[in-house]
Amino acid sequence: MNQAKNNTYTIAQLGHAVLRLRALEVENILSDDCQQLIDKMMLAVSEAGGVGIAAPQIHHSLRIFIMCSKPNVRYPDAPLMPPTAIINPEILHYSSEKVKDWEGCLSVPSMRGLVPRHSQITVRYFDQQGHEQQKELTGFIARIFQHELDHLNGLTFIDQLESTKDLISEFEWYQQFAKTL
């Protein structure tokens, strides 16, 4: 079975209805429910070895995701950043340049796709303490943000592919492209 699960979460897999919903805005970031969900998401992404996870992936249709880039087997060149809660995010500006790179997803564990993403974005969101943030993101961090925001809009990386020829099994991706740490 390719589902990460423990007593507090199961990661929704491709085909589950929650992954196709537009997630709802978070009304009260500082509520106990919201803070507990963020804690659960931090645990889920850590245990699953991901670089990000969106609330819909653990069956909560809310506009929250966690970004936690770090080098690992799936993304050996990923930059290091602390786990960060991103709440009610939006992209204010996209660069015209797009870059194709390989993406995987905890909700699509057996596949990888060569996905075009904007190389630079300006974003606005609220942090876990309820403070508004505005940042410019580039490279892999911008890719994570766009990937996770797609989840909040009912999309997966597969929806962003230019062609099904850009889709490969995780097994073949490791055989052909994976680097060792």
Q: Is the pLDDT of residue 180 over 90?
A: no
What share of the chain has pLDDT > 70, as a percent?
A: 94
Nearest to 68 by CA among 88, 47, 89: 47
CA distances from 139 to 13, 33, 107, 120 (A): 27, 33, 22, 7
Residue 9, pLDDT > 90, answer: no
pLDDT score at 7 = 47
Is residue 11 in a domain?
A: no
* CATH code at position 150: 3.90.45.10
| 110-129 pLDDT tens trace | 999 999 999 999 999 999 99
Average pLDDT over residues 8-19: 91
pLDDT confidence of residue 102: 93
pTM: 0.93
Is residue 34 annotated as involved in ligand binding? Answer: no
Residue 16 labelled as part of a binding site: no
Examine residue 181 and state whether it is found in any structural domain, yes or no: no
99 neighbors 116 (Cβ within 8 angstroms): yes
**Does the pLDDT of residue 106 top 90, yes or no?**
yes
Q: Each residue of 55-91: pLDDT tens digit?
A: 999 999 999 999 999 988 778 889 999 999 999 999 9
Which active-site residues does the annotation give? 148
Q: Let me know if 164 is exposed, middle or buried by CB neighbors in 10 A (0-12, 13-18, 19+).
A: exposed
Decide if 4 is inside a domain: no
For residue 151, tell me if it sits in a domain: yes
- Name the domain count of the chain: 1
| In-domain check, residue 2 | no
60 is in an annotated binding site: no
* Residue that has been written with the tokens 């300006």 in this structure: 122
Let me know if residue 167 belongs to a domain.
yes
Query: Do residues 84 and 68 lie in contact, with contact meaning Cβ atoms separated by under 8 Å?
Result: yes
pLDDT of residue 73: 79
Q: What is the C-alpha to C-alpha distance for residues 32 and 38, in angstroms, rounded to an integer? A: 10
